Structure 1
Amino acid sequence: MFIKPLQPPIRLQALNALHSRLVKTSPKYEEISGERARRLAGFIGEKKVEYILRTIDEDHYFIFHDLCLKVGDLTFQMDFLLLTSRFALIIEAKNFAGTILFDDQGQFIRILGEQQDGYANPIAQAQYHQRCLRKWLALHHFPALPIEYVVIVSKPSTIIRMENPDPEVRNRVLPATKLPNYLFHLDQHSKKELSDPKTLRKLSKLLIKKHSPQYPNLMKEFNLTEQDILFGVQCPKCTSLPMISLKGYWKCSVCLFPSRDAHIQATHDLFLLYGPTVKNKQFREFLHISSIQKARKLLRSMNLPYSGDKRGRVYFRPEK
C-alpha cells in the first residue's frame, strides 16, 4: 500500500511556478527551462515505476515516494522506499533516452546520437541512501532490516550497456519490466520476519512525521529579481496573466474563463518562489488585489497556519 503517494517533487513544483511566471526575455530563461524539462522527465519516469508498483501492491508492502529524511546534518532523498517486515528496498528511478553506459571506471554516461554526457552514478546514489537509512533506523532505535537497492530504468527504448564487470552493478540496474520479478526474488529469499506488524506501522508513521521536504530558493539560486517575475493570478485554462479580481470570483482577461479558486495556485506559487511566510501586503501585491479586507478573507479561506494579529499577522505555508 502507498503510505506516501506519488506527487511532483518540491523542486519540480518550484520550477513549474517559476517557469510559468518568468519573463521570456530573462537571460536565465533557457537554463531554467532546461532544468525543468529534465526534472519533468525524471518525474515521468517515477510515474512509470509507481504504475508498476501498483500492479504488485500487496498489503505487506509499505511504499513511500520522494521521502526526504535527515541524519544529523545530512539530508537524503529516495525516489521510492518499499518496506516489509523482512527487508527494505530503495528504488532509484531513471528516465533517460538513448543509451546509458556504466563504464569500467565507475562512470555513468548517457549517449544520445553523437552526444555523450556524464551524470551522477545512480548506484553510488543508492548506496549512499542505503548507508543513511541504516543510520536513520539505528538513530530511532528500530531493528536493523536488510536494506536492498535497485536502479530502475523506466524508458522501454533505453539501451543499458555494462562495461563494469562488478556484479553489484550488473545485478542492480534493471529495466522497469523486471521490477516485479526482482521483488518476487527478494520475497523468496527473505523468509525471516525481522519486524512485527505493530513495529512496521510505528516505523511508517515516524517516516511520514520525519519527512522533511527541501524547499529551494530559486530566486537566489538563479540570481533573479522581481522584475524577472510576472505577478498576478494565472488563468487555469489558458495560463494567461493576470486574471481580474471580481466579486466572489476571478475572470481571465484573455479567454474570459471564470474561477472561484484560481488564487489557491497563485498562493502556492508565492510560497514556492518567496519562502515560507507571507503577509497581507505581499499577498496583495503578488495577486493584484487592492483590498486589504479581500486579501484577508482569501488568506483565511485557505486555512493557512498563522501567527500574530491584525497588521502583524504572518501566514505560513503548509510544510507537508
Structure 2
Amino acid sequence: MGKKELALLSEIESLERLLYRLPDNHSSREFIQVEIFKAIAGKRGEERLFRKMIEFEIEEQYRFLKNICLSRGRWKVQMDGLLLTERGAIVIESKNISGQLYFDDSTGEFSRTTTEGVKTIMEDPTVQLNKHIRFLTLFFKQQNIDLPISGIIVFTSKHCEFLSKPKQHHICKTYQLVDYLFDILQEFPLKSKPQDLSEIQKLLEQSRTPYKRKPLCQLYSIEETELFTGILCTSCKSLNMMRKHKKGWLCVDCQAVDPLAFQHTVREYFSLINTQLSNRQLRKFCKLDSPYMTSRLLGAYDLETAGALRNRTYFLKKND
C-alpha cells in the first residue's frame, strides 16, 4: 500500500486553526479574525469572477487560465487569471474591496471610504497590474511569442462604488467583466497568422512556479510557545484528541472519532509553525509521549527526509 501524500492546509483553514490555538486574550486574535474574513471574502470574489467567465465565448480559439504563478530569477508574479485569444492576452486581476473607491489620476493614489466614513489610502491595484503586464511581455519575448498584452482589474465585492476610475486602465465590477473583455479585444490588431494557443498554454503550465507560503506563525511573528498544543477535534474545536482504537482518534470532550485527525495536524504544523519538523517537535505539538508511535505514524506519509533515524527531519515534498 502506497504512502499518503500531504500538502499544506488551505489559507482559510490554516488561519482558522491558528485562531483555535491562540489564547482568548492574545493580542493577535482580532487581527487573525479579520484576516479570515478577508480570505473568505476574497475566495468568494474569485469564485464569482470565474463563474462570470463561463459567459465569455468567441468564435476564435481562446483559453482561460487561473492562478498563474511564474518567475524570472527572483522576480515572481501570481496572476489571478489570464485570457489567451488569437488577438492578444488579457491579464485579469481580482480585488475584493468594498466601499467608495477613488482613483486620483493627479497623485496616483487609490483610496477607499467605508460606509462609516473612514477613508483609507491603499496600494493602487493598477501598479500590480502594470507589473504583471511587464513581466508577461518579457516572458513572451523570451519565448518568441508574438501576442499583444492588456489587462483589467475586476472589483468583485458587491458593495463597492466607483467615485472615479483611472483613464489609462480597464477597471470594472464582476457583472461588467464580459463586456469589458470584448471591448479590450477590439483594441488588439487583427493578425493574419494567429498564434497556436495550445502551445502557449502548455508553455505557461510547464513554466509554473509553485507558490511558496510562509508558515503563519513566521508571517505574523507569533512564537510557537504562544499556541495551545494538542490534536484538534473538528467537531467541538477542543485540542483533546487521543488515539483510542483502530477507527481513529477519539475526542476526550465530545467522543467524536476522526481517522484523519493526526494527518491534518501534521499538515497544520507545516502550515503554521515551520517548513520542517522532527519527531520531538511534532510530539510536543500534538502532546504525544511515544517517539516510536510518532515515527510509525509519520512513516505512513510520503515526506522528504534528511538525517539518520534518531535525528531525522521531515519536509513536505516539493511539487514539480
TM-score class, shorter-chain normalisation, is 0.7 to 0.9
Given that 1:213 and 1:319 are in contact with CA atoms closer than 8 Å, whether structure 2 keeps it comes out as: no
Of 155, 158, 175, 2:157 maps to 155
1:294/1:77 CA distance change after superposition, 3 Å: same
Question: By how many angstroms is 1:207 displaced?
Answer: 3.3
Structure 1 CA distance for aligned equivalents of residues 54 and 23 of structure 2: 40
1:154-178 Cα shifts (integer Å, max 9, x gaps): 123321121x5x5213xx1101011
The 10-residue stretch of structure 1 (19-28 or 107-116) with the greater mean CA deviation from structure 2: 19-28
Task: Look up the match of 1:238.
Answer: 236
Q: Is the 8 A contact 1:233 1:243 kept in 2?
A: yes
Residue 196 of structure 1, CA deviation: 1.4
Q: 1:227-261 CA distances to partner (integer Å, 9 max, x unpaired)?
A: 31122221122322131222331112222211101
Aligned to 1:93: 94
- Which structure shows the bigger proportion of residues in helix conformation? 1
Q: How does 1:5-154 map to 2 (within 5 A)?
A: 12=12, 14-56=14-56, 60-65=62-67, 67-104=68-105, 105-112=107-114, 113-139=116-142, 141-154=143-156
- Structure 2 distance, partners of 1:53, 1:266, is 36
Closer, same or farther in 2 for the Cα pair 1:311/1:291, shift >3 Å? same
Supply the distance in 2 between the matched residues of 1:247 and 1:138 (Cα, whole angstroms). 60
* Farther off after superposition, 126-135 or 14-23: 14-23
Map 1:244-263 to 2 at 5 A. 244-248=242-246, 249-263=248-262
Q: Provide Cα deviations, 1:158-202, integer angstroms capped at 9, x if missing partner.
A: 21121x5x5213xx1101011122233445555535421452243
Distance 2:57 2:299 in 1: 39
Unaligned ranges ≥5, structure 2: 1-7
* Percent identity between the two aligned chains: 26
- Which consecutive unaligned segments of at least 5 residues does structure 1 have? 1-7
Q: Residue 310 of structure 2: SS of its match in structure 1?
A: helix
Deviations 1:117-152, CA, capped at 9 Å, x for gaps: 11111111111111122223334x241422221111
Question: Alpha-carbon deviation of 1:273?
Answer: 1.9
Distance 2:138 2:230 in 1: 45
Distance in structure 1 (CA, Å) of the matches to 2:9 and 2:183: 30
Mark the CA change 1:123 to 1:308 in structure 2 (over 3 Å): closer, same or farther.
Answer: same
Q: What do residues 293-320 of structure 1 show as CA deviations (whole Å, max 9, x unaligned)?
A: 3322322323223344422332212444
Q: What is the CA–CA distance in structure 1 between the aligned matches of 2:266 and 2:238, rounded to whole Å?
A: 16
TM-score (norm 1): 0.84
Number of residues paired by the alignment?
305
Write the distance in 1 (CA, Å) between the matches of 2:113 and 2:284: 46
Question: Do 2:215 and 2:275's aligned partners in 1 also have CA atoms closer than 8 Å?
Answer: no
User: What does 1:165-184 correspond to in 2, within 5 Å?
Assistant: 166-169=166-169, 172-184=170-182
Whole-angstrom distance in 2 between the partners of 1:195 and 1:250 = 55
> Considering only aligned residues, what root-mean-square deviation do their CA atoms show, in Å?
2.7
Q: Distance in 2 between matches of 1:290 and 1:77?
A: 42
The answer (yes or no) to whether the contact 1:110–1:116 under 8 Å persists in 2 is yes
Corresponding letter in the other structure for 1:226 = E
Letter in 2 for 1:212: P
TM normalised by structure 2 equals 0.84
The answer as to whether partners of 2:98 and 2:159 remain within 8 angstroms in 1 is yes
